[in-house]
Structures are given as structure tokens and as C-alpha cells.
Amino acid sequence: MTTEHELDLGDVATVRRRLRVDHDHPRYKWITLSNTTLGVLMATINSSIVIISLPAIFRGIHLDPLAAGNVSYLLWLLMGFLLASAVFVVTFGRMGDIYGRVKVYNLGFVVFTASSVLLCFDFFDQGAGALWLIGWRVVQGVGGAMLMANSTAILTDAFPSRQRGMALGINQVAAVAGSFLGLIIGGVLSEWDWRAVFWVSVPLGLLGTLWSYKSLHELGQRGTGTIDWLGTVTFAVGLTALLTGITYGIQPYGDSTTGWSNPWVLAAVFGGLAVLGLFCWVESVVAQPMFHLALFKNRAFGFGNLAGLMASVGRGGLQFMLIIWLQGIWLPLHGFDYESTPLWAGIYLLPLTVGFLAAGPISGILSDRFGARPFATGGSLLVAATFLLMLVIPVDFDYWVFALLVFLNGVGSGLFSSPNTAAIMSSVPADQRGAASGMRATFFNSGTALSIGIFFSLMIIGLSTTLPDAMLEGLTAQGVPSDIAQNVAALPPVGSLFAAFLGFNPIQELLGASGTLGQPGVNSDVLVGQSFFPNLISGPFHSGLIVVFVAAAAMMIIGAIASALAGGRYVHDEREELAEAAKVDA
């Protein structure tokens, strides 16, 4: 039901609980906003904090991530947290609807903090050490799912619709900004000690746990019934298989530069889609589904989540591509050692975070008055424009031009994120807010996970057409024997990408094992210098960027169309309950 009313109070019991809390604790909604913002900020910082910290982490556990057989450790350290967060948010959102959102949210703080402590004490080395970290990162992702699934639902319960855009805007700004801030925090802390990357969450987790148990109260309308276990299992299995298959599509298979011809990858992707189709059927026939698929018939909810998925995929792809661009090419060309590039990449991406933080809260406040559509649509189009403009600047760019473009990209993301979240959460019934919040968070987290497989694959495809010839010509020009140069040039580009991504000198990694460096006639100093690899890869990398950023721009345009189709200001309520609310208020 579409309405222009400014109240969205749920059932009569919810009204009475809210009025009582507002009377006894007039600052309660602000306490709720600050605590839930801390929760989602902590969760999303940890979704990206290891990206920059991976070189220090692998050095700390004495494991070469680029050695044969170790790439899986690298992928799962990146993916474990994201996968757990994406898979479990809907389940924990539904549990919040049934058993209490605050109860599940509080437990999320406990699980997150305990796993953060255990991550700091890695008692093993090499492969066993990596497995310990991966396992507890998955558990940490479960805690993050509890927090993210219920934070927006708790806020929606606590704030009236006339302030909801502002509240959810601030919360969503914290969520997205956390993924940017994690890059900087991870870079700074890993320079000190790799364990500090995980220690930083412990005091925040303890503070949030004590604060939430002491201060938060149940205001929302609870649903009835039990957990839909069949729906829960089919959703978890289907989404896990799909995201895992897409991620492993990055790795080469046989003579192919990617793994998309690997039968196991194809089985995981298509099998995951089939199981997700089974999940949809289960949800349509069970008496008490985990998630009411009928909500997708609501334009604000359905198109809002589609736009959110496109934005999340585009934003994740941007992060990874810009990190490789800075660490593998621009920073070495400007005198930075490869070992220090992860830290400086985070610092040079600060304009992206600043733009997002500047636009996010303002768009949330304005969307309360003017609706979500102009801001979500305009923000998506601005992000698409910045993707296309990044194709115009040279690979060795003037920094002020680059900084302006990523700043505008952050502004566009900020304009989109807050109104989009408010529109989605305001469009659902009170007793479905937990599951709806979980579904929204699933699209948010799945988009980041999908971006790893999608954009790395696109970049590898783009590089594979031009990098081998450039590599062969460049190596032989510096005295590398032709047979060795041909073997190195024939290697899949993913090795060079991962090396640059981790802050290693790719040529050092590619030629070091062969014993070529140091041989007579080989210009070793030039090969492992700051400029050889960046100059070598600049042309092929730009070819890959064209593929990647055009695809990202297309996704953002789809998101803009979906935002425009989502409709104007939509607030779900029931007229009878508004009448009862007026009686209670009187």
C-alpha cells in the first residue's frame, strides 16, 4: 500500500512500546543509532581490512601465497568472511523477527568479539596457520551477519518514518565507509604487526557488547512460528556453491587463463543456481517461509535490492582494480617500494572515502523530504560517469585528476546508498523487517564477493590478449634467454595480478625461481627495478581496464534504471493500526 503518511508504527503493541520508551528514554533512538552504527562499522571494516594486510599476514605465518597450491588460502582469507556474511544474514534476520532482533544482534557482538580474540592467537604456521585464520574469519563473518541482519531493522523500529532516511542513511554510510576505511586501517596496522589487524576489533567489540546488552530494548513486532530449516539449508548451500564457483573462476585451468572451462567451477555455478531455484520453490510452498518472496512484488523493495546489488558489485570491482592500478603501476613509477605500496594505496584512496562520507548523510536527510528516487538514480549515474572517465586518463595519471574522479565516485555512492536503504526498509511490514534487512545485506555482501570473481576474470581476459607479447618483448630486450622469456610470457596473467595486489614485485616472483636473475647478460637491476614492470604492463592493463570499467558502468546504469523504476516515496503501514496509534497517543 502506497501512502504519504509520515507515521509507520506497526501494530498497537509496537506503538505502545515505542511511546513508553520515547517517554521514559527520550534519547533512546539516538542510542540505538550510535550503537548499531558501531556494529555495522566494525563488521564492514573487517570485510576489507585483510585486503591490504594480506602480505603482512602471510609473512607472519611464514607462507608464500603465490606458491603452487597456496592460492586457495589467499582466496579464502579474502572470501571466508564475505561468504559467511552473505549466506547467513537472511537466516539471522528471520531469527530476529521470531525471537527478537535485539537478542540476535547482541549475540552477534559476542560471536564477533570472541572470534577476533582467537584470530590474534594463531598457534600454527604455514598451511595450518592459514586454515586457523580462515576458520575464525568465517566465524567472525557469522557474527557480522548477526549484526548486519538486525541493525537496520532495529533502527527502523526505533525511528518514525519522517526521520528514518536520516537514521538509516548514517547507518548505511558507516557500512559502506567501513569497507573503504578497512583498507587504510589494515595498511597502517599491518606495518606495525599483522596481529594488530585483528586486535583492533577486540576493544570495539567489548564496548559494543556491554553497551548493547545494557541499553537496547525490543521495540519491533515479532513474528510467530519456527525457523524454516529447509529454506535455510537450500539458501545456504545454493549461495555458497554459486559464490565459490565464481571465485574459483579466477584460477587458470588447463590451457585457459581462467577457470571458466573447469567442470567443477561450472558445476558449482549452475548447481548453485539450481539450488537457489529450489529455495524459491520451497519458500513459495512452506507454511512459514524464511523469507516472503512476495515482498519482491513491491517495487520499492524489488528494484531497490536490484539497484543495491549492482552498486555493491561495481563498488567492489572498483576497490580491487584501483588497488592493483596503484600498487602494480602508479606507486612504483613514483618511487614507492613494492613492500610499502599496500599502505600508500589505502592513503591515496582517501578521496573516495571523503566523498562518500560527505554525501551519504546529506542524501539520507534530504531523501526523508523528497524521496529516494532522485538521489539513488542520480548517484548511480554519477558513479557510472566516473567509471567511463577513468578510461580517459592515462595509466600514469596526474594524481589530482585521479583524486577528483574517485572523490566524485564516492559522492555518487553516498548519494545512492542512504536513500536506497531507507526506501527498502520503509517498504516492508513491521514483522518482516528482520528478514528484509537480512535480504538487503545479502545483496550487499554478495555483490562484494561476486565482484572478486567477475572483475578479476574480466581483467585477466583483457590482459591475456596483449600481456604475453609485451612480456616476451620486454624480457628478451633485457637479456633474458628466449626460452625462459617465452615460458614466463605464457604464464596466466593472474600470477602478475596477485603479485601486484599483494605488494610483491611481479618480475621478482616470476623470474626468481628460475635463477635467471644475476646471470651474465641479464639486466637484473633493470628487471627488478621500480619502473620495468609498470611500464611493461601499462598498455595491457589499460586494455583490461576498458573491459572492467565499461562493465562496471553498465551495472551502475542498470542500477540507475532500477532506482528510477522503484517509484517515489513509499512507506508501508496499515491504516487500521494508524487509527489505533492515534487512540493510544490521545
Please report where in the chains the cell 527520550 appears, as a residue.
26
Using CA atoms, how far apart are residues 344 and 456, in angstroms rounded to an integer?
22
Evaluate the CA torsion angle 413, 269, 458, 502 in order and state its sign: positive
Q: Are 28 and 21 in contact (CB under 8 A)?
A: yes
- pTM for this predicted structure: 0.75
Interatomic CA distance for residues 538 and 485, integer angstroms = 19
Please state, in angstroms and rounded to a whole number, the distance separating the CA atoms of residues 532 and 345: 19
Q: What's residue 515's pLDDT?
A: 66
Unique residue bearing C-alpha cell 580474540: 117
pLDDT at 514: 62
User: Which residue ranges make up each domain of the chain?
Assistant: 12-227+290-464+539-585, 467-538
Q: Are 338 and 155 a contacting pair, CB within 8 Å?
A: no
CA–chain centroid gap for 453, Å, is: 13
Integer angstrom CA distances of residue 297 from 63, 293, 304: 49, 8, 11
For residues 198 and 119, the answer to whether their CB atoms sit within 8 Å is yes
Confidence (pLDDT) at 24: 43
What is residue 15's predicted lDDT score, i.e. its pLDDT?
46
Q: Which residues contact 479 (CB under 8 A, 6 or more apart)?
A: 521, 522, 523
How far apart are alpha carbons 571 and 6 in whole angstroms?
Answer: 8
For residue 563, the model assigns a pLDDT of 85
Rg from Cα positions in the chain: 24
Predicted pLDDT at 576: 36
CB 494 within 8 A of CB 250: yes
> Phi and psi (nearest 5°) for 494?
-60, -30
Residue that is written with C-alpha cell 602494480 in the block: 328
DSSP-assigned letters across all residues of 287-301: SS-SS-GGGGGSHHH
Label residue 583 exposed, middle or buried (CB < 10 Å: 0-12, 13-18, 19+). exposed
- Specify the residue for cell string 535480504: 439
Q: What is the largest CA-CA distance in the chain?
A: 93
Distances, alpha carbon 70 to alpha carbons 52, 128, 131, 135, 504, in Å: 18, 12, 11, 16, 15
> Tell me, what amino acid is at 160?
P
Q: Helices 101-120 and 433-464 sit at what angle, rounded to 10 degrees? A: 40
Give per-residue pLDDT as tens, 260-318.
788 988 998 899 899 989 988 888 888 777 777 777 877 888 888 888 888 888 877 77
Which numeric CATH code is attached to 12-227+290-464+539-585? 1.20.1250.20
How much is the pLDDT for 569?
53
Say if CB 250 and CB 452 are below 8 A apart: yes
Q: List, for the chain, all residue ranges whose pLDDT scores fall below the cut of 70.
A: 1-26, 66-69, 161, 164-165, 220-225, 430-431, 433-434, 500-503, 512-516, 518, 567-586
State the amino acid at position 68 in one-letter form: A
As a whole number of angstroms, the distance between CA 489 and CA 198 comes to 38
CA 182 to chain centroid: 11
Q: Are 442 and 290 in contact (CB under 8 A)?
A: no
Alpha carbon 499 to its chain's center: 22
Helix/strand/coil for 253: strand
Amino acid at site 341? T
> pLDDT tens digit string along 459-478?
887 777 778 888 888 888 87
Task: Give the number of C-alpha atoms closer than 13 A to the C-alpha of residue 298, restricted to the C-beta side.
Answer: 23
